[in-house]
Every structure is written in C-alpha cells, then in structure tokens.
Amino acid sequence: MLIEERLKELHEKIKRKVPKGITVASVEFEGPELVIYTDDPKSFADQDDLIKILARELRKRIVVRPTILEDPERAVTAIKEVVGDNAGITDIFFEQDTGEVLIEAEKPGVVIGKNGATLRDITKEIGWTPKVVRTPPIESSTVKQVRQYLRAAHQERKELLRRIGRRIHRDVIAKDQWIRVTTLGCCREVGRAAFLLSTPESRILIDCGENPGNSTSTPYLYVPEIHPLTQLDAVVLTHAHLDHCAYIPLLYKYGYTGPVYSTPPTRDLAAMLQLDYLDVMNKEGNTIPYSSNEVKEYIKHSIVINYGCVTDIAPDIKLTFHNAGHILGSAIAHFHIGDGLYNVAFTGDIHYGKSRLFNAATNHFPRLEALLMESTYGGAGDMQPPRAEAEEKLYSIISDVIGRGGKVIIPAFSVGRSQEVMLAIEEGIRLEKLPKMKVYLDGMIKEATAIHTTYPEYLNSDLRNLIFKEGLNPFLSDCFEQVDSPDKREKVITGDPCVVITTSGMLNGGPVMEYLRSLGSDERCALVFVGYQADGTLGRRIQKGWREIPIGNRETLVINLECFTVDGFSGHSDRRQLMNFVSHMQPKPEKIFTIHGEESKTLDLASSIYKKYHIQTMAPMNLETYRLV
C-alpha cells in the first residue's frame, strides 16, 4: 500500500473511533509517532482514555496536536493563570515543529497536577501540548544550545520527521526472512563500537565510536555492508561516550540523512563530547574528521526516547531503551524484530550494580533471544573491589598526598567517572573523612555535571531524594571549583594542595596533559586512575610503568609523581557482575556475543558463560556477519 493510502485509511479509522463533534483534520507520521491534528484539542483532551485506546488499537505511538496554536505570548499568560504561582516556573519554550511547549519549573509536580489534570487544563486552554521539566540547579550551556538549535531548525525538522515517519511506516515487501548482525568495530578490542543489525527490509547501525587508543582508526565504515548510507534506516546510540558516539556526525558528512535514536541525556552529552572531541583533536594538531556543522546535523536528526518506551524505528523493528547503569542516559538497546520473530539486545556499556548515581543495569526483558554484551572486565581475574573499599582507598591516598603538600590529579571521563568521584569526595569532605580542600574540575566536567542535574529522572532515587527531598545537592558543594582559563589552571598548578579531576580519562589529550607537563616531575604529587585505560593510550602506558614517554614529535613527559590505580569506581561491570548479569537474566537468551573487550577477555567471558550457563556464546571478530535467524 502506498503511504498516502495508508494514512488515508488510518484517518478514516480514527474518525470512526472519535466521538461525534470532534474533528480529525488530518493524520501524519512524524518520526516514530502518528500525529492526529484536530481543531478541537480541548474536546480531545476531555476524552480521558481516547488516545490510549487508539494507540492500542492502531499499535502506534499517538500524539494529538491542534491545527491552530495559540499565540505564544497569550499562551504564556494562559499557562501562568492555569498553573498559579506555586510551581516556580522559570522558563517556557515553544517548539513550533512539534506543537509542544516546554515548561521549566522548580516544582514540576504542580504544573502536572493530580493525575495530569493541570496539564490537560493547559492543553484545553492553549492548544500546545505541554511538557514539564524541572528547572536544573546548574544551567547547562549545552542543553540550552541544543534546544535553541532545535527551535531554530524547527521547519526543517518538521519536514525531516515526516520523511522519517513515512519511511518507518512503509510497507514490508521482502519475501525472505533473516536477521543478521555485522561487526564493524569493537570486537576483540575496546573502542570504535559499531554494529549493523539487518533484515531483508531494514538496516540499523548501533553506535559509531572512536578508538581511544588510536585516534585515526574509525569503525570499518568503508565495507559494502553499510552502503549506501542513504539506505540505513536508523542509527541507535547506546550512550554518549566517544568510543560509541564520536563518528556519528561523520555519517552525515558521508551522506546519511536518517535519524539517530538515543535517550534525551545521551543526545546532549554526545553533542557536548563531540564538540569537545573536535576541540581536543584540533589542539593536538590532528585534522578533524568533521566540523561542528555535522554535529548540528546530528542534533537536527536526533530523536529522543525515554527508557521503556517501545518505538517503531523501521517497518519490522521496534526499539526499547533500558537502563544500563553506566553513565547518565546510558541504555541497553533492545530490538523487537518482525512482529514476534526475534529479539536481540545490545548492552552498550553496563554496570550491573548500584552506584552513587545510577541503579544497576536492567536484565529483565519481555523477550530476548540474543545478546551482544560488553566484556571490558570479562577476564577471569578482572575483579573490582567493592565501592566502599575503593572510596576508602581513594580517601587515604588523597589524605596522604594533601598531607605531604602535593596535588592529586584524577584523570576521568567528563561523563560518568567524574561525577561518581565528585560525589565520593564531597561526602568525604562533608563527613570529615577528608581534609577541607578545593576540588578543581577541568575540561567538560562541570558542564557534564550540569547536564546531570537537567535530567534528574535519570539518576537513582537515593540521589534524587538527597537533592530534591533533603535539599542537599552535592554537586553544588562549594568545595568544587571550575577551571575555566589557562590562567586559572596556572594558579591551580602553583597553588595549594588540592584535588584536580580532569579530562581526558585515558590521557589521550585534554587539559590533563597540562597538569602532567607541569606536575609530572613533582614527587609530592599523585596521579590516580579511577577508570579503564585502553590499549595504546598514554594512561595505559603510565599504568604499565613507563616513566619517560615521548609525546608529539619533540616532547618527553617525565613521570615522577606517584601513580595509583583505584579500582572499584568503574562504570563497567567487573567479571563477577558480568556473570551475575547473565545468571539473573530473564529470559535467558539463546545466544550471547561477547564484545567490547580485549581479545583474551571476550574469549574468556564467552567460554565461561558457555560452561556455567550452557548458553551458546561467540566472541566475534570485527568484520564478521552472523545470522540470528
């Protein structure tokens, strides 16, 4: 059936279902949603369950929008009138392309009202669909920029969502039945994650990241399997780390024009890290693979989905994100293929254990036949100490070094490890387990923290309670200070004993290099690794004991400061957690592919899972293709 005919048919069906007197002006696919345009948004909103019933019957995500929107200025007045002063509204954004109005408020519950009653009242008054978010306690310039950009591009985005929507809902035409996974990177290595999931009908790329140990090695994007890029249906991004997202903008440079699905925080964090990545590449004298224009293209084409929301992304594929416990917004991507035929999930990076920020990764799914799981710490001996032990060790190192007049440099990914370490140190100082001192944040860490506070629903409930119920936001502690200029950095370097948390986490560029150049030879100081150091990175070399390391063409880095590795802060599951993740899975998958780990670790994990749980396992190589069905 032609898509126009299908829309016509849907239009007729919906008209029949909707009570007399409510007009259904038109229906349109916009991205994964079916949008119903009505002249009577107020009457529509009155029919409590109508949208739910339609969604269930048509098996589509349904959104209702008014054909005519209230003038924004008058709408602002109307919103404030309906909501009242209690809510602490700090900003109201109108999104022309979706007909949505984003209401930022200190007390979002008041804007929502009991069972959403106030929201429905707003809809009736102004036509715009209201969405409520909590006013973040730290303002993120990234979030602001992303929103501004999306608003500016709203007309283009509206067209793009229609095009994508029509593509998603096209007819299934293939006669054959098969499902395949092609490995384009991240097999028997850590880095350049990229996997192609394909059926006779559709092709989905999962992740497209950099190789932290080798800045010029991209995923294998030159092989025919993923070409032409114009025929990719979707890119799905598990989380914002660069080894998963760095080369997504490059796809737009190469001709991709489709959507990128991620959670909302992942979109913002990824955009921030991509821009920072370009900046670092540039400063290190490397040619940048794409420009900020392509990052904008990525933002323009991004479609965000929250955990648990089942979404059509191709005629035969539904995507659902589940919490991965790894970093803010990190997701396990679950694909339901061919209306009951098969289910496969990609873990991205997972932490199967509760941390200060997140709940443990989800391992219960409605159905699951195959799993591609990370194996960073998949080796038999890759045990991490408990978090409490790790924090004690970190406290003791910091106390010693500060005590002897030194500085503690903690290289960390700006997203994830930094916030975990910040929370541990803040508590240490607050509970007087650590001396009073400054904790400097260099690189994108503060901005990343701001994004965390923009999406509190993605943090675990303990931390949310601490912030919102007990009014104690540890990220706002005055022990933290941002390093925002070379002058300031110089002052930190020559100043009092302190802790510096700084990027990049594996010492492949970033401000951490400045600290090492200046303090590397100072024996009173210490370098503390709290995260995984990939093969080929400077971090790994120092961990291995290198003490004079040539960097660039002429420079040699001298390492006299004390080097520590504090295990236990990792955002990755250790070996025991990986095995437990599988052991407690519901349902048990038939097949597990071990990826995202050094060769020996993927092989070891694969054979251990097979032996212990009798699940068929594979440690694929890059550039292979496996049939699932």
CB within 8 Å of 346: residues ≥ 6 apart: 195, 206, 207, 236, 238, 332, 333, 335, 372
Nearest-angstrom CA–CA distance, 535 and 597: 10
182 binds, among Zn ion, a second copy, none (CB under 5 to 8 A by kind): a second copy
Dist. CA 531–CA 554, nearest whole Å: 29
**Least Cβ distance, residue 585 to Zn ion (angstroms):** 7
- When asked if residue 170 is in the footprint of a second copy (CB under 8 A), the reply is no
* Choices 220-228, 435-443, 470-478, 548-556 (CB under 8 A): range interacting with a second copy: 220-228
Give yes or no for residue 598 binding a second copy (CB under 8 A): no
Per-residue contact flags (x/-) with a second copy for residues 538 to 577, judged by CB under 8 A? ----------------------------------------
- DSSP β-bridge partners for residue 92: 103
| Residue 591 interacts with a second copy (CB under 8 A): yes or no | no
Nearer to Zn ion, 121 or 243 (CB): 243
Between 80 and 180, name the residue whose CB sits nearer to a second copy: 180
Neighbouring-strand partners of residue 183: 195
- The entry of a second copy, Zn ion, none near residue 349 (CB within 5 to 8 angstroms by kind) is Zn ion
**Of residues 401, 451, 456, the one with CA closest to residue 425:** 401
Q: How does DSSP assign 581-593, residue by residue?
A: HHHT-BSPPSEEE
- Residue located via tokens 């500016």: 152
Burial 157-167 (b: 16+ CB within 10 A, else e): bbebbebbbbb
Find which of a second copy, Zn ion, none residue 233 binds, CB within 5 to 8 Å per kind: none
| Count of CA atoms in the C-beta half-sphere (13 A) of 286 | 17
- Tell me: does residue 178 bind a second copy (CB under 8 A): yes
> Among residues 44 and 581, whose Cβ is nearest to Zn ion?
581
Rounded least distance, CB 378 to a second copy, Å: 20
Q: Does 584 bind Zn ion (CB under 5 A)?
A: yes
Told to check if 154 binds a second copy by CB under 8 A, we report no
Q: Report whether 244 belongs to an annotated binding site.
A: yes
**Could you tell me which residues are beta bridge partners of residue 502?**
411, 442
Question: Is the Cβ of residue 614 or residue 627 nearer to a second copy in the bound state?
Answer: 627
Residue 241 among known ligand-binding residues: yes
> Are the CB atoms for 312 and 61 separated by under 8 Å?
yes
Pair of tokens at residue 463: 């931390």
Total Cβ atoms within 10 A of residue 29: 24
- C-beta closer to a second copy: residue 344 or 398: 344
Whether 349 has a binding-site annotation, put simply, is yes
Among 61, 80, 154, 180, binds a second copy (CB under 8 A): 180
The dihedral sign for the CA sequence 305, 308, 311, 316: positive
Does residue 622 bind a second copy (CB under 8 A)?
Answer: yes
**CA 209 from centre of chain:** 13
Per-residue contact track with a second copy, 182 to 211, x per CB under 8 A? x-----------------x-----------
Q: Is 53 helix (H, G, I), strand (E, B) or coil?
A: helix
- Residue 178 binds which of Zn ion, a second copy, none (CB < 5-8 A, kind-dependent): a second copy
Q: Which CB sits closer to Zn ion, 189 or 349? A: 349
Q: Can you read off the two tokens belonging to residue 241?
A: 């780390």
Exposed, middle or buried: residue 170 (CB in 10 Å: 0-12, 13-18, 19+)?
A: middle
CA angle 181, 186, 190 (to 5 degrees): 155
**CA 560 vs CA 297, 409, 492, 566: distances in Å:** 45, 13, 19, 18
| Of positions 189, 268, 349, 567, contacts Zn ion by CB under 5 A | 349
Structure tokens at 12: 């007729």
Q: Determine, following the binding rule CB under 8 A, whether residue 230 of this chain makes contact with a second copy.
A: no
The angle subtended at Cα 387 by Cα 386 and Cα 389, nearest 5°, is 70
| 624 near a second copy, rule: CB under 8 A | yes
The residue (of 227 and 387) whose beta carbon lies closer to a second copy is 227
**239 marked as part of a ligand binding site:** yes
Q: Does 625 bind a second copy (CB under 8 A)?
A: yes
Q: Phi-psi region for residue 101, left (φ > 0), alpha (ψ -120 to 50) or beta?
A: beta
In angstroms, give the least distance from the CB of 91 to Zn ion: 31
Q: Which does 254 bind (CB under 5 to 8 A by kind): Zn ion, a second copy, none?
A: none
479 SS3 class: coil
**Residue 618 beta carbon to a second copy: minimum distance, rounded to whole angstroms:** 11
Tokens of 618: 């594979």
Residue 243's binding partner among a second copy, Zn ion, none (Cβ under 5 to 8 angstroms by kind) is Zn ion
- Least separation in angstroms between residue 270's CB and Zn ion is 11
Binding mask 241-280 for Zn ion (x = CB under 5 A): x-x-------------------------------------
Binding segment for a second copy among 173-181, 247-255, 436-444, 545-553 (CB under 8 A)?
173-181
**Tokens 């995202």 sit at which residue?**
596
Which residue's CB is nearer to a second copy, number 227 or number 541?
Answer: 227
Contact status: 159 vs a second copy (CB under 8 A): no
Nearer Cβ to a second copy (198/330): 198
Size of residue set near Zn ion by CB under 5 A: 4
Pairwise CA distance, residues 480 & 500, whole Å = 10
Report CA-CA distances (Å) from 254 to 60, 147, 292, 496. Answer: 32, 25, 15, 49
Exposure of 85 by Cβ count < 10 A (0-12 exposed, 13-18 middle, 19+ buried)?
A: exposed
Q: Provide, rounded to whole angstroms, the least separation between the CB of residue 226 and a second copy.
A: 7
Which residues define the annotated binding site for Zn(2+)? 239, 241, 243-244, 326, 349, 596
User: Binding site: residue ranges?
Assistant: 239, 241, 243-244, 326, 349, 596
Binding site for Zn ion (CB under 5 A): 241, 243, 349, 584
Where does this chain bind a second copy (CB under 8 A)? 176, 178, 180, 182, 200, 220, 222, 224-227, 621-627
